[in-house]
Structure 1
Amino acid sequence: MDAASAGSETPAMDHEETGPVHLRRIDPSRNMRRFYTLAIQPTLFGGASVIRNWGRIGTSGRSMMETFDRDADAASASSRLERTKRRKGYRDSRLG
């Protein structure tokens, strides 16, 4: 019975691992202290939304929500945005 319940919980655990991504870019020489957050949230109609929040660290920043019909499309868009930000110098905020 444990094996059956473990198998049924695997997809939910995978979904939890793809939680919000918190990035930041700090460059004191340019007086730059920015943050960028990406999250995927389910919609009421079976789709998913990519929620972005960005701005200067210490402010509430700006937000944008883009809705997709399929979860896979939202995950793809989120991954693409994250790669773009990392190429521009954003790093995980918990790494220091």
Structure 2
Amino acid sequence: MNELRPVHLRRIDPSQNMRRFYSLSVQPTLFGGASLVRDWGRIGTRGQSMIETFDTPAEAGDAMTRLERRKRRRGYLDPYAPRSGRRE
């Protein structure tokens, strides 16, 4: 299995007092499957977690990709990616 890297996203909008995080990772289970671990909440808090178990790591990776895509469409960004655009 090719190793899936954890995904850490943030959505910050000061005009709406919004400072959210969303994290995704795939962890192996004891029985050969894989779990998709999701953590989300307001930055600076513990937030919430959810674990969803799949029969194969590939299924967990597909679910992770779908969720990441959905969050990026809603405005979540990678906090470590270089920002394109304005420097004044």
SS of alignment partner, residue 80 of structure 2: helix
Q: Which has the higher helix share?
A: 1
Separation in 1, partners of 2:51, 2:79: 22
User: Which of 33, 44, 56 lines up with 2:30 in the alignment?
Assistant: 44
User: Which of 55, 72, 88 lines up with 1:86 in the alignment?
Assistant: 72
Hey, what does 1:75 align to over in structure 2?
61
SS of alignment partner, residue 94 of structure 1: coil
Separation in 2, partners of 1:93, 1:39: 16
The normalised TM-score by structure 1 is 0.82
Q: Runs of 5+ in structure 1 lacking a partner?
A: 1-10
Higher relative contact order (CA 8 A, sep 6+): 2
Matched, 1:28 2:14: yes
Hey, what does 2:86 align to over in structure 1?
none
* Same amino acid, percent of matched pairs: 65
SS of alignment partner, residue 32 of structure 2: coil
Larger Rg: 1
Q: CA RMSD in A?
A: 1.2
Give a deviation string over 1:19-46, Cα, whole Å, max 9, x none. Answer: 1100000000000000000000000000
Q: Runs of 5+ in structure 2 lacking a partner?
A: 84-88
Hey, what does 1:58 align to over in structure 2?
44
Aligned residues: 82
Report the AA paired with residue 67 of structure 1.
Answer: T
Separation in 2, partners of 1:93, 1:57: 12
The normalised TM-score by structure 2 is 0.89
